[in-house]
Every structure is written in structure tokens, then in C-alpha cells.
């Protein structure tokens, strides 16, 4: 697993979450333009040991919304079981 590829996937996932949060499903509404400003913090709460063929799962949500910005919270965990 390349760490840079993982960060790229997390960034794309955060963009999808932000788009779903902003989408009002009205075809007359202008499509929002979204930009990743920064990654504020990356906490490794427990080590993830990867085995050949093991899948990982991303979970995310918009944890704060302002008028022009969003905060997205994402968790990465083994797909076979969630750890908190």
C-alpha cells in the first residue's frame, strides 16, 4: 500500500462527501465547485496491519458546515470489522 495513493483516495472520498452534502438534487441549481484546502490532522489511533487481499473501508461524514466551507471527518478501518 502506497501512503500517497491512500491520501489521494481519502481526498477523493472527502470530495464525494462534500458534493453529496452540497447537492440539493435540483436540476436548476448551479453545480458547486469544490476544492480541497488542506488536511488539518491525521491521527493514527491503531496500526493497520495489511495482509495480502485484505480490503479497507473508508467511512466519512460532514462534521461541520459553514456558509462557504465544510469539515469532513474520515475513518479508515479494515473492512471485516470496525474498531473505535
Q: Compute the Cα dihedral for 66, 11, 14, 73 and give only its sign.
A: negative
Residue 74's pLDDT band (cuts 50, 70, 90)? very high
- State the Cα–Cα distance between residues 18 and 35, nearest whole angstrom: 10
User: Is the Cβ–Cβ distance between 62 and 71 less than 8 Å?
Assistant: yes
Residue 1's pLDDT band (cuts 50, 70, 90)? low
Q: Spell 32-55 as b/e; 16+ CB within 10 A means b.
A: eeeeeeeeeeeeeeeeeeeeeeee
Which pTM was predicted? 0.79
pLDDT in tens, 3-62: 788 889 999 999 999 999 999 999 999 888 888 888 888 887 777 677 778 888 999 999
Amino acid at each position: 500500500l502506497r501512503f500517497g495513493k491512500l491520501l489521494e483516495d481519502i481526498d477523493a472520498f472527502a470530495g464525494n462527501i462534500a458534493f453529496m452534502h452540497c447537492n440539493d438534487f435540483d436540476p436548476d441549481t448551479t453545480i458547486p465547485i469544490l476544492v480541497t484546502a488542506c488536511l488539518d490532522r491525521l491521527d493514527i489511533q491503531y496500526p493497520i496491519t495489511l495482509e495480502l487481499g485484505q480490503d479497507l473501508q473508508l467511512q466519512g461524514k460532514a462534521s461541520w458546515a459553514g456558509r462557504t466551507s465544510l469539515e469532513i471527518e474520515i475513518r479508515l478501518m479494515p473492512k471485516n470489522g470496525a474498531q473505535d
